[in-house]
Amino acid sequence: MSTSPRDRTLIEGPLTKHAQLSDALAELAARELGPGAAIPSERDLMATYGVSRATVRKAIDGLVSDGLLRRVHGKGTFVSTPRLESRLHLASFSQDMRRRGLEPSTRLLSVELDEPPTDVVHALGLDGDGTAWRVDRVRLADGEPIALEHGWYPRALLPGLDRHDLGGSLYELFADVFDAPIDAAEQTLWGETADAATARRLDAPVNTPLLVFRRVSSSAGRPMEHVVSRYRGDRYQIHMSLGRDDLGHRRNTPERKRKR
């Protein structure tokens, strides 16, 4: 560090010592260290800032929760890489990453015919023998795991899907090979934390926050996909442009005025 421990000793004041240390570490991460760099050890921070181990840990815990720092078991604490930002739009993961100048890739975990759960059967309008393609994949950007996908695809509309390369964009495959471009989708978003199996697939700590998307996609009115994608919340964020709805307008309609 560029100054002596005495110069950096925290002072008594309106801000608690852990809040002061949190601000100091945030500035250190942004100005001197940069993404991927390790922060000083707890022992070094205690000596440099004249604080207890409990104060150091509380400051680091807050920055980890905020996503500025990340812990790697057995290695230390590092400055986080900025989150990838996406707008909600109809595009594949591969298309989304390429637009950001990143190289998408896929780790195919499994592809097999299986009996889907009831909600998937209804969403895809399945009948016949009741089986569909189940495709499990890890999606990566510049070699880093970003999302874990569990997808279901109708067997009748995608015969021989397992004989094709599933390492790229399925949407491009559907359009080019099956003449079924995805043109509409319904999507729901919620939050979870990563269990041990998911964390292992995403190379993330257990309980890492996740953004979970459930998407049902269709082509020319035919349901083609039911997929649940779990994105690392410490590496991915969503941007939305919002506008006012017509509630204010409806409040002032002549009909409503007459009822007053």
Read off the DSSP letter of residue 63.
Answer: H
Read off the DSSP letter of residue 182.
Answer: -
pLDDT band at 24 (very low <50, low <70, confident <90, very high): confident
Percent of the chain past pLDDT 70, that is, above it, reads 80
Which domains, and CATH codes, for the chain? Answer: 5-79 (1.10.10.10), 84-239 (3.40.1410.10)
Cα–Cα distances (Å) from 126 to 136, 155, 188, 249, in that order, read 19, 9, 21, 42
Q: Which residue in this structure is represented by tokens 């991460």? A: 29
pLDDT digits (tens, 9 = 90+) for 182-214: 999 998 999 999 999 999 999 988 998 999 999
| Helices and strands (DSSP H and E) totals, the chain | 10, 10
pLDDT band at 3 (very low <50, low <70, confident <90, very high): very low
Cα–Cα distances (Å) from 168 to 98, 195, 217, in that order, read 12, 26, 17
**213 half-sphere exposure, CB direction, 13 A CA radius:** 25
Q: What is the pLDDT of residue 13?
A: 57
How far, in Å, CA of 78 to CA of 52, rounded?
20
Q: What is the pLDDT of residue 200?
A: 95
Sign (positive/negative) of CA torsion 41, 43, 48, 49?
positive
How far, in Å, CA of 99 to CA of 115, rounded?
35
pLDDT digits (tens, 9 = 90+) for 243-258: 776 555 555 555 544 4
pLDDT band at 31 (very low <50, low <70, confident <90, very high): confident
Strand partners, 148: 138, 230
